[in-house]
């Protein structure tokens, strides 16, 4: 019995990749422009190229989704408005959006534009899916970390929204949208499209006081490959299967799209008998592979998720070197499961000295030179220096596979084309009439300009008509069928038949593209409309305005919270992640924190975890219910699921938005205000100049800036200590080494990044350098920032007290009118003391330098 199948969505990093996707069976493609795309390093599309791409795809019945999935600065409002107007006019099928500020804008100025939630928005639980659906999302690209039962639960909980999941390609080690590694360490923001991929570099895992436990590409994942589970994904309610790869070459797009197309069609034809064909898997391994994994679909894979040995393509395993003939300069290899041909690429993994690569230009089979050697044969190839018996051999390029892939998008007659069905009628003395229809029911009719003639020698016949009307190369169409009604011998000039064919093609093309046409938006009026959305942001009521600057402190442990109160914190954020390296504590100690806050008049805000998965929703809800009983002054959340949960569990408490929401502009603050948030913490990727330009500052709405602390660079479902030291695999539980040891990662420059594991066994990697703005407090206060936050979630109570005391004195002195010169001298000394608590140095983050 046939089954319905999800949409196949392929990447298009450039025009050739787009044709590769369309011609190999994609139902939809996703691409980006030269700006505002999370793959800024790719070829991408200028406006002319994007218009051509949309026309090429739409003619062939393929949808086009445009990624506008970076965080936007307020200064880019004019440019984004013009770009949105252009995309609207092109008739693109949807926009893929990360920035909640852009979402806020689009819902007001282009409410008819379909919107998809980017994976960069980190949708990991049902609450966020529900709120995005209520905010107008037509589709959500789920986080890669969700398991198959969790995907099914999101579909059950929010049935009205389409779900899209990645099924093939590179995986981020971190939760997408929650990584600041490239940004804070290298100045290239993944949230702005410029990720430098530090996760693909080599690191050393250190235990306790610096003992090396492992070395290699410890954050480099294998590539996702969910080909065997297409049926399970379809039954879980997935609407679209996404192939990663906008930075990949077109040959990759062609091969991977073609394999998944054949697999989906095979599943649709007979779901019960669906099985992965070995050739499909071999082609996927050959075109690009770091090794394959099922990711988190079935379980946390531990070491099996990772590609520790190398971060790039390994190709297809051929076998091992059996013998090296030094005289003939040949290495003899037994081909285990694949053929080898002249022109293919090989790589030898030698025992000493890394890897040796070559292109096969000589292939020896016994005493004969051949062009192709079949699987199972013993072949000799030219041997690079250093190769020895036992070395593994991989085929890194298959010349025949690459050539087939290239033909699929370079040959005008290849690939995806639209069927045309023609009915042609003609008589002597009458014009020839041709009626055309396509697979969508469009119809067209055209006639020759001259009547038919009685032939002197050769009469027009159905086969001649098929030849003339079948000359559709270079168009989007092919002749699927032609019915000829020629009751009497008749002849028409060939030029008239060609003209008739061109008229039909032009009309059918216009009709197909006409389905996507949209009314023109007048440029200046649309730009003004976008500006008005920002300038007409609401003014918070007096109760939600804050005239005074408050010192806020985020901690994870009761003693640290009490130390913060005792040394001058105005507001305490307490809760969130509990790290394995931290002290244990009782429920009574937690209750005392909230009670002390009430006694001292220092609000204690309960912090939800940074994120959680569907399977953890019940635990997070119960924890919040318990916290509400202790009487918090509010709830802090860094994700939309937390907003929904807080509304349900504690409807009377104010909700505070944390910086993992990636609040980067005025419009994002508007989105949060519309959601009912009492206060928001700005993205640490903003500069002071950008903060100073925020319209919300003048409205008195409490905006918080991070002023001090070691910030998390990554949060990941995979844990390096758990995999490497704890033995975690898909079948084996972790032995929890984090309970008895501390861990860190050291990079090639010698920087050491602390690693923590939370109560859900998620890993958090922290910056080696601590953020410190004690010298810059006067400028922050002049900007009108009303909340200055110390991020001290890993610090002991003694350290918390020392840090809070310094910042308390700074704010009190500034409030008392301390002379600028005297303050600068004191602040320099204070920075020195704070620097002693951060041995690897201090940083001012992006407040001055900004990000790419």
Q: Which domains does the chain have, with CATH numbers?
A: 7-192+223-291 (3.20.20.330), 315-410 (2.40.30.10), 419-514 (no CATH), 548-843 (3.20.20.380)
Specify the DSSP element, H or E, that contains 702. none
Q: Which of 493-497, 533-537, 685-689, 765-769 has the lowest mean pLDDT?
A: 533-537
State the pLDDT at residue 352: 76
Q: What is the pLDDT of residues 795-852, one digit of tens each?
A: 999 999 999 999 999 999 999 999 999 999 999 999 999 999 999 999 999 999 998 8
Residue 648 clears pLDDT 70, i.e. is over it = yes
CB-CB contact of 633 with 597 (8 Å): yes
Tokens 């429920």, residue located: 587
Nearest of 506, 384, 492, 516 to residue 445 by alpha carbon: 506
Q: Distance of CA 698 to CAs 372, 538, 694, 784, Å?
A: 73, 11, 8, 8
Residue 238 clears pLDDT 80, i.e. is over it = yes
pTM: 0.96
Percent of the chain surpassing pLDDT 70: 100
814 exposure class (CB count in 10 Å sphere: 0-12, 13-18, 19+): middle
State the pLDDT at residue 541: 83
520 exposure class (CB count in 10 Å sphere: 0-12, 13-18, 19+): exposed
Q: What is the pLDDT of residues 469-489, one digit of tens each?
A: 999 988 999 999 999 999 999
CB-CB contact of 633 with 604 (8 Å): yes
Q: Distance of CA 117 to CAs 10, 129, 717, Å?
A: 17, 9, 21
Q: What is the pLDDT of residues 711-736, one digit of tens each?
A: 999 999 999 999 999 999 989 999 99
Residue 221 clears pLDDT 90, i.e. is over it = yes
**Phi/psi at 184 (nearest 5 deg)?**
-75, -30
Q: Which long-range contacts (CB under 8 A, 24 or more apart) does 319-327 make?
A: 319/392, 319/393, 320/389, 320/390, 320/391, 320/392, 320/393, 321/348, 321/387, 321/388, 321/389, 321/390, 321/391, 321/393, 322/378, 322/389, 323/389, 324/383, 324/387, 324/388, 324/389, 325/380, 325/383
State the pLDDT at residue 210: 86
- Please give the mean pLDDT across all residues of the chain: 96
How far is it, in rounded angstroms, from Cα 140 to Cα 132?
Answer: 8
Q: Distance of CA 322 to CAs 241, 331, 393, 496, 779, Å?
A: 42, 8, 11, 68, 70
Q: Which long-range contacts (CB under 8 A, 24 or more apart) does 700-703 make?
A: 700/540, 700/545, 700/546, 700/547, 700/786, 701/540, 701/544, 701/545, 701/546, 701/669, 701/673, 702/544, 702/545, 702/546, 702/678, 702/786, 702/787, 703/669, 703/679, 703/785, 703/786, 703/787
How far is it, in rounded angstroms, from Cα 720 to Cα 763?
Answer: 8
The structure tokens listed for 577 are: 């992640």
| Confidence category of residue 1, pLDDT binned at 50, 70, 90 | low
Beta bridge partners of residue 678, listed in sequence order: none
How many other C-beta atoms lie within 10 A of the C-beta of residue 565? 22
Return the exposure string of 150-179: e unless at least 16 CB atoms fall within 10 Å of the residue's CB, then b.
bbbbbbebbeebbbbbbbbbbbbbbbbbbb
State the pLDDT at residue 415: 81
Mean pLDDT (whole number) for 143-154: 98
The structure tokens listed for 554 are: 């985020």
76 exposure class (CB count in 10 Å sphere: 0-12, 13-18, 19+): middle
470 exposure class (CB count in 10 Å sphere: 0-12, 13-18, 19+): middle
Mean pLDDT (whole number) for 266-291: 96
| Confidence category of residue 547, pLDDT binned at 50, 70, 90 | confident
How far is it, in rounded angstroms, from Cα 706 to Cα 771?
Answer: 8
State the pLDDT at residue 2: 64
State the pLDDT at residue 351: 80
State the pLDDT at residue 66: 99
How far is it, in rounded angstroms, from Cα 358 to Cα 384?
Answer: 8
**Phi/psi at 550 (nearest 5 deg)?**
-115, 145
The per-type count for the chain, helices as H runs and strands as E runs, is: 25, 40
CB-CB contact of 282 with 318 (8 Å): no
State the pLDDT at residue 765: 98
CB-CB contact of 318 with 306 (8 Å): no
Q: What is the pLDDT of residues 677-702, one digit of tens each?
A: 999 999 999 999 999 999 999 888 99
How far is it, in rounded angstroms, from Cα 827 to Cα 667?
Answer: 34
Q: What is the pLDDT of residues 763-779, one digit of tens each?
A: 999 999 999 999 999 99
Residue 315 clears pLDDT 70, i.e. is over it = yes
The structure tokens listed for 439 are: 């697979």
Q: Distance of CA 89 to CAs 101, 455, 761, Å?
A: 22, 50, 47
State the pLDDT at residue 83: 98
């Amino acid at each position: 019995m046939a089954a319905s199948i999800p949409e196949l969505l392929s990447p298009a990093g450039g025009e050739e990749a787009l044709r590769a996707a369309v011609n190999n069976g994609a139902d939809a493609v996703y691409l980006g422009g030269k700006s505002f795309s999370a793959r800024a390093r790719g070829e991408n599309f200028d406006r002319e190229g994007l218009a051509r791409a949309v026309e090429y795809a739409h003619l062939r019945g393929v949808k086009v989704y445009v990624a506008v999935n970076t965080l936007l600065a307020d200064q880019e409002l004019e440019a984004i408005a013009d770009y949105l107007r252009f995309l609207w006019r092109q008739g693109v099928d949807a926009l893929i959006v990360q920035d909640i500020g852009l979402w806020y804008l689009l819902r007001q100025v282009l409410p008819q534009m379909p919107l998809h939630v980017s994976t960069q928005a980190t949708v990991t639980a049902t609450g966020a899916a529900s709120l995005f659906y209520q905010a107008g999302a037509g589709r959500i690209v789920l986080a890669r970390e969700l398991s198959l039962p969790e995907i099914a639960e999101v579909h059950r909980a929010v049935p009205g929204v389409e779900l899209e999941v990645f099924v093939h390609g590179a995986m981020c080690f971190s939760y997408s949208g929650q990584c600041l590694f490239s940004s804070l360490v290298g100045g290239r923001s993944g949230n702005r499209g410029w990720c430098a991929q530090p996760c693909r570099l080599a690191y050393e895992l250190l235990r306790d006081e610096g003992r090396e436990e492992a070395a290699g590409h410890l954050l480099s994942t294998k590539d996702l490959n969910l080909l065997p589970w297409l049926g399970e994904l379809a039954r879980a309610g997935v609407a679209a299967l996404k192939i990663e790869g906008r930075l990949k070459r077109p040959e990759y797009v062609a091969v991977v799209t073609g394999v998944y197309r054949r697999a989906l069609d095979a599943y649709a034809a007979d779901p019960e008998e669906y099985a992965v064909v070995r050739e499909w898997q071999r082609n996927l391994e050959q075109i690009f592979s770091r090794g394959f994994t099922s990711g988190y679909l079935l379980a946390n894979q531990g070491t099996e998720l990772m590609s520790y040995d190398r971060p790039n393509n390994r190709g297809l395993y051929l076998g091992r070197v059996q013998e090296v003939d030094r005289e003939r300069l040949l290495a003899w290899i037994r081909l285990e499961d694949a053929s080898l041909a002249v022109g293919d690429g090989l790589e030898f993994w030698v025992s000493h000295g890394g890897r040796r690569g070559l292109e096969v230009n000589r292939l020896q089979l016994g005493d004969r030179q051949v062009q192709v050697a079949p699987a199972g044969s013993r072949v000799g190839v030219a041997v690079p220096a250093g190769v020895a018996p036992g070395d593994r051999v991989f085929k890194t390029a298959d010349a025949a596979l690459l050539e087939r892939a290239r033909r699929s998008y370079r040959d005008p007659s290849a690939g995806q084309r639209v069927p045309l069905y023609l009915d042609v009628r003609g008589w002597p003395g009458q014009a020839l009439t041709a009626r055309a229809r396509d697979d969508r029911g469009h119809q067209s009719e055209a006639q020759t300009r001259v009547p038919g003639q009685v032939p002197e020698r050769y009469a027009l016949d159905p086969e001649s008509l098929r030849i003339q009307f079948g000359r559709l190369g270079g168009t989007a169409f092919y002749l699927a069928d032609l019915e000829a009604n020629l009751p009497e011998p008749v002849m028409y000039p060939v030029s008239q038949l060609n003209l008739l064919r061109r008229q039909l093609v032009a009309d059918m093309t216009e009709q197909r593209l006409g389905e996507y046409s949209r009314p023109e938006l007048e440029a200046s009026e649309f730009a003004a409309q976008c500006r008005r959305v920002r300038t007409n942001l609401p003014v918070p009521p007096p109760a939600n305005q804050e005239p005074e600057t408050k010192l806020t402190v985020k901690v994870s442990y009761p003693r640290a919270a009490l130390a913060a109160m005792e040394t001058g914190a105005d507001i305490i954020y307490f809760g969130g992640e509990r790290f394995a390296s931290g002290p244990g504590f009782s429920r009574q100690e937690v209750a005392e924190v909230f009670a002390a806050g009430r006694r001292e008049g220092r609000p204690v805000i309960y912090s939800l975890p940074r994120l959680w998965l569907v399977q953890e929703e019940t635990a997070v809800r119960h924890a919040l219910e318990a916290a509400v009983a202790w009487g918090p002054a509010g709830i802090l959340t860094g994700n939309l699921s937390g907003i929904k949960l807080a509304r349900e569990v504690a409807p009377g408490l104010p909700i505070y938005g944390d910086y993992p929401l990636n609040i980067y502009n005025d419009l994002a603050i508007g989105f949060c205000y519309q959601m009912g948030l009492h206060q928001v913490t700005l993205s640490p990727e903003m500069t002071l100049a950008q903060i100073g330009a925020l319209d919300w500052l003048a409205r008195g709405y409490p905006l918080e800036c991070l002023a001090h602390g070691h910030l998390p660079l990554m949060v990941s479902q995979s844990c390096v200590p758990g995999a490497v030291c704890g033995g975690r695999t898909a079948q084996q539980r972790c032995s929890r080494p984090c309970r008895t040891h501390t861990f860190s990662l050291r990079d090639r420059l010698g920087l050491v990044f602390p690693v923590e594991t939370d109560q859900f066994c998620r890993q958090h990697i922290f910056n080696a350098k601590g953020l410190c703005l004690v010298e810059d407090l006067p400028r922050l206060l002049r900007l009108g920032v009303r909340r200055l936050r110390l991020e001290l979630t890993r610090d002991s109570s003694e350290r918390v007290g020392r840090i809070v005391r310094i910042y308390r004195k700074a704010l009190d002195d500034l409030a008392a009118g301390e002379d600028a010169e005297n303050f600068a001298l004191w602040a320099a000394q204070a920075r020195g003391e704070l620097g002693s608590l951060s041995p690897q140095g201090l940083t001012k983050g992006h407040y001055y330098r900004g990000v790419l």
